[in-house]
Structure formats: structure tokens, C-alpha cells
């Protein structure tokens, strides 16, 4: 019986991040990776986990309880329009000025929102149009 190995789809693959560090720090990271028998990437990712959790964890009221939420857990989605909407719902304070206008275009149109619930399918289908509308609004009112 043959065993099938499922490869990650293009969207699921890890992304590359390029950063500048000194030769000495790179050397130190490589030494630590060698000592621990780990990859350089795993060393860096482990170092990032705590600051990411600390900086991106918010409190959310659920009934009578206040629970911590890690924004990437509730906002991340493979599809950019869905990811944007989920971020706007979870942490509107993290939106850029342009994104705030995008969110305004979405929330003011009943085709995109049913009370407080976004219509993800319609938003996805009209994503380019939504972006164009937001850009036109920014252009129109940016000088005023």
C-alpha cells in the first residue's frame, strides 16, 4: 500500500521574512541553533512568540466573563478580504487610515453587513469595488 504525502498548498506554505542583523548576532543565533540542534528559523520564531502574544492579546467580554483573545487567532484567514473583516471586527484600533475607510464602506452598505454580521461572500465578490470606493472617498475628502 502506497503512502500519500500531502504537500502544503501554495497558500499554506510558510513565508520568508528578510531582516538585517549584525554579523555578530547572526553568528550567535547560528551557534545557539547548532548547540540546540534546531534550525535558525525555529530559534527566531521562539524568540518572537512572547512579544507577539504580549502585544497582540486583547481582552474581550463574553457574557459576564472577560477572556483574552490573541488577535491573529481570531483574525487570520487565507483570504485577504476575510482577514481584513475579521481584523476590523476584532481590533478596529489596529486599522490604518485607509483600512478605516474600507471598513466604513463595508459597514455602511447593507449588502455587505446584516446588522453586525458581515456577508463574507458578497465582500469577497466585490472586494476590488470596495477598495475603489474607499480610494475615491479618500481622494475626494483628503484635501478638506
Task: Note the pLDDT tens digit of each residue in 63-86.
Answer: 899 999 999 999 999 999 999 999
Closest CA to 52 of 72, 31, 68, 35: 72
CA 138 – CA 104 distance, rounded (Å): 11
Residue 48's pLDDT is 94
- Confidence class of residue 22 from pLDDT cuts 50, 70 and 90? very high
Instruction: Say what percent of the chain tops pLDDT 70.
Output: 90
Task: Note the pLDDT tens digit of each residue in 106-128.
Answer: 999 999 998 889 999 999 999 99
Amino acid at each position: 500500500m502506497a503512502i500519500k504525502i500531502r504537500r502544503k498548498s501554495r497558500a499554506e506554505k510558510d513565508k520568508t521574512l528578510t531582516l538585517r542583523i549584525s554579523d555578530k548576532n547572526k553568528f550567535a543565533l547560528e551557534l545557539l541553533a547548532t548547540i540546540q540542534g534546531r534550525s535558525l528559523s525555529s530559534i527566531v520564531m521562539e524568540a518572537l512568540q512572547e512579544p507577539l502574544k504580549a502585544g497582540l492579546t486583547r481582552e474581550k467580554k463574553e457574557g459576564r466573563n472577560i477572556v483574552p483573545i490573541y488577535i491573529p487567532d481570531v483574525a487570520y484567514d487565507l483570504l485577504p478580504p476575510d482577514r481584513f473583516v475579521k481584523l476590523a471586527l476584532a481590533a478596529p484600533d489596529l486599522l490604518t487610515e485607509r483600512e478605516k475607510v474600507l471598513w466604513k464602506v463595508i459597514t455602511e452598505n447593507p449588502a455587505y453587513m446584516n446588522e453586525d454580521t458581515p456577508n463574507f461572500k458578497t465582500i469577497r465578490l466585490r472586494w476590488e469595488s470596495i477598495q475603489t470606493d474607499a480610494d475615491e472617498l479618500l481622494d475626494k475628502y483628503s484635501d478638506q
